[in-house]
Structure 1
Amino acid sequence: MTDAQIKLKRTDSILQELIPEALSQLNDNRLHELDVIEVRCSKGRDDAKVYIDPSYFSEEEKSILLKQLKKARPIIEDYCMKDQGWFRSPKLKFEFDEHLKKAQTIDELFKKISKENKDES
């Protein structure tokens, strides 16, 4: 692992800790409940995708929360920047992580195929 990759992973890790702290400081109680699953910074650390657990939210709630997060983004970035003493913070982009849902769907398909194969035997 190169020094650049180590710095990138360190930034990801720091942001994954700081973003929930920043969310808890906001006035909107709905944002306090969000679970940050993962943060991935771009190679130059200018941008970062923040993946949020979608488990407890309907599609309507997700769109409302994304709008609120978009409005709160500058405040969250400022919090991270000041906490770490950075000159600038990566520009955050919030997304709900649908990978878990896709993985569960694939697992269900494999179970169904396995069951069908057993029934045919």
Structure 2
Amino acid sequence: MKSINLQRTESLLMELIPEALSTLNDERICSLPITSVNCKNGKYDATVYFDGSDFNEKEIPGVISALTKANGRLKTYVLSATGWYKCPTFKFVNDNSLESSKHIEDLFKQIEKKKSKE
């Protein structure tokens, strides 16, 4: 179970990271949806999950690379917005859970169609 302070940090980062991304000039990442943030080791490391469903498999590494390059600017934005002494180092991961849930929904629709035909 996570501490309340850690949960607050994650929640605040969920708000601030999209704001920081919107200030960047890279069209691939300036409006990228952030699905969750998972902080580890206090505020030292944070895994940021994004919805990459708008990109194909070949484009995802480029998006992650662009996000990694923007890490310093994101940290500067978060530090100025929060007044924290230290900002976590961000690691970016494509969140596949949305695709999985969409696939499951599609399967349910297929089952429903089959039952309605019978």
Contact 2:43/2:86 (8 A) holds in 1: no
**Hey, what does 1:25 align to over in structure 2?**
23
Contact 1:37/1:51 (8 A) holds in 2: yes
TM-score computed with the length of structure 1 as normaliser: 0.81
What's the secondary structure of 1:39's corresponding residue?
Answer: strand
Contact 1:41/1:49 (8 A) holds in 2: yes
Q: Distance in 2 between matches of 1:33 and 1:46?
A: 25
**Hey, what does 1:49 align to over in structure 2?**
47
Shift of 1:100: 2.1
**Hey, what does 2:59 align to over in structure 1?**
61
TM-score computed with the length of structure 2 as normaliser: 0.83
Give the residue type in structure 2 aligned to 1:71: K
1:11 maps to 2:45: no
Shift of 1:51: 0.7
Q: Distance in 2 between matches of 1:66 and 1:88?
A: 23
**Hey, what does 1:73 align to over in structure 2?**
71
Structure 1 residues 51-105: Cα deviation after superposition (integer angstroms, max 9, x where no partner): 1012211112211111101100111011101110010101111111011223344
Q: Distance in 1 between matches of 2:90 and 2:50?
A: 12
Q: From the two aligned structures, give the one with the greater helix fraction.
A: 1
User: For structure 1, which runs of at least 5 residues remain unmatched after alignment?
Assistant: none
Q: Distance in 1 between matches of 2:101 and 2:21?
A: 28
> How many pairs were matched up?
117
Larger radius of gyration: 1
**Hey, what does 1:96 align to over in structure 2?**
94
**Hey, what does 1:83 align to over in structure 2?**
81
Computed over aligned residues only, the root mean square deviation of the Cα atoms, in angstroms, reads: 2.3
Greater Cα shift, 23-32 or 87-96: 23-32
Give the residue type in structure 2 aligned to 1:10: R
Shift of 1:106: 4.7
